[in-house]
Amino acid sequence: MEETVGASSSLRTGSLTFVEVLATSIALIGPSMTPILIAPYMFANAGNGTWLAYLFGAGMLVVVALNLNQFARRFTGAGSMYEYAAENLGPTLGALAGWSLLWAYVFVAAAVVGAMALFVGLLLHDAGILAASTPAIYVAIAVVLGAVCWQAAYRGVQVSAIVMLVLEAISVLIILLLVGIVLFRHGPGLDPNQLNVKGGVPNWGLAVMTAVFSLVGFESATAFGAEAKRPLVAIPRAVIASVVFASAFFIVATYAEIVGLEHAAKPLDQQTFPLGTLVGLYNIGYLRVPIAIGALFSAFSVCLACITTAGRIAYAVAKAGLFPRALAAIEPRHNTPHVAVTLITIVVVSIAAASLAAGVLPIDVFNNCGTLSAFGFIVIYAAISIAACLYVKRIGAMRWIDVAISALAVGLLGVPAVSLIYSVPAPPQRWFGYYFVGFMIIGWLWFSRAASVSARGRNNDQAAGDAKREEYDKNPDA
């Protein structure tokens, strides 16, 4: 189905089951990362309204998913998010949508590389191997784990999906065990403080933005249309199921954290490892190390999912002639876009390692890169929502509900979008918006030039053909 360069000309069709496609989406969401790293920041912005912010974010992304499924249930292929936008917004705008998606995946991957460095450092410290981690140690951890992610993505998406499913399942089960213990000891009654959000929800936009950070990745299943079994059924189901599962997990886990830490010395927003504090409060300290290991597994699976998916996006853009043709190469033994995967890995590890080498703490690498990724996700989600409306109109299947869903998605995405630019944060976050705009300008210049070169090539080919026909007409016996 997918023609490309190299001895083997296609990705491995029909190699992924629904469960494996769903695993990819859930792994890129990285559900275990939220109660471990993101919940404190969520609580700082939303307080007792944390569950409301997650509910709003989940509803917003379900609407986006409905727009995405306008395409996914009708056709699909490798790098489908880019293909959906390109087919309906035009080659240049579509390429810019794919460009923003690459930005998003690369910075999510770099963020979790920072998280992996943090968790390995904590484990080494708890084991008494290291008294303290240094920038050099963090860089070494980032490079080694980045290389392991690259190897898994290089060898094949089916292997990657299985690894992601197992690692994330272990992590989620450990957290659910802790959540179950906390809720059992709390009793069957609901926490009234979380049902009565006094004084409204402070910093609502920032809270929703954090919820979006937690949930992004559900769309990654669309990148495997060329490799999924029954893709027109499996991919739409995986897109919706991943949002619903992750949202339910986040609401229950953060509810338990807020309840469990209610009488702790420090509230949730001041905790650096909230689940570690919980196991101490509930006298189940034997879960501390498994939770830290589970967090490392979750971060690894997110990184692997980002590299795997971003590689297929770059592959699809290269297939369209807008990236260097080498990125469309397929490795003949494993049938993977190995050049694209390798380049994405190098960029991801370079961003994280350079930040760590400069003395940026791993938790700040996670927060900064996560914030940067949000710009790309908001742009691609909005682009897909607009493209969905144009698509159903073009095929003559548009209903008023389709227009309403498209408009609702764009309007809801404005909440986290405004929160990213409304306030003027301290450096370096102050400059993040400018970085993204600069990146998009570079992409626009590149794609405009690539489209111009491609058009000139087509015109030259046509002129050469016309000349040959004219010469033949003059001298048919030549």
Q: Output helix, strand, coil percentages for the chain, rounded to the nearest 5.
A: 80, 0, 20
Q: Which residues contact 378 (CB under 8 A, 6 or more apart)?
A: 212, 413, 416, 417, 420
At 23-41, the pLDDT tens digits run: 777 777 888 888 888 888 7
pLDDT-derived band of residue 94, with 50, 70 and 90 as boundaries? confident
pLDDT-derived band of residue 159, with 50, 70 and 90 as boundaries? low
Domain range list for the chain: 18-423, 437-473
pLDDT-derived band of residue 2, with 50, 70 and 90 as boundaries? very low
CA angle 250, 251, 253 (to 5 degrees): 65
Residue-level pLDDT at 356: 96
At 55-72, the pLDDT tens digits run: 888 899 999 999 988 888
Residue-level pLDDT at 420: 60
End-to-end CA distance of the chain: 40
pLDDT-derived band of residue 3, with 50, 70 and 90 as boundaries? very low
pLDDT-derived band of residue 259, with 50, 70 and 90 as boundaries? confident
Which tokens in the block code for residue 94?
């579509």
Q: Is the pLDDT of residue 96 over 50?
A: yes
Q: CA 36 to CA 303: how far, in whole Å?
A: 16
pLDDT-derived band of residue 147, with 50, 70 and 90 as boundaries? very high
At 207-217, the pLDDT tens digits run: 777 788 788 87
At 348-370, the pLDDT tens digits run: 999 999 999 999 999 889 888 98
CB 142 within 8 A of CB 116: yes
What average pLDDT does the segment 213-232 reach?
75
Which tokens in the block code for residue 445?
């210049």
Q: Is the pLDDT of residue 286 over 60?
A: yes
Exposure string over 247-267, b if 16+ CB within 10 A, otherwise e: bebbbbbbbbbbbbbeeeeee
Which tokens in the block code for residue 197?
């959000």
Residue-level pLDDT at 472: 46
What average pLDDT does the segment 99-127 reach?
90
Residue 371's φ and ψ, nearest 5 degrees, are -65, -45
Q: Which of 112, 145, 93, 317 is nearest to 217 (CA)?
A: 112
Q: Which residues contact 43 (CB under 8 A, 6 or more apart)?
A: 50, 254, 257, 258, 267, 268, 269
CB 180 within 8 A of CB 359: no
Least confident of 115-124, 162-171, 432-441: 162-171
The DSSP line for 90-132 is -HHHHHHHHHHHHHHHHHHHHHHHHHHHHHHHHHHHHTTS-SS
Which fold is adopted by the domain 18-423?
Amino acid/polyamine transporter I (1.20.1740)
CB 368 within 8 A of CB 360: yes
pLDDT-derived band of residue 9, with 50, 70 and 90 as boundaries? very low
Q: Which residues contact 471 (CB under 8 A, 6 or more apart)?
A: 478
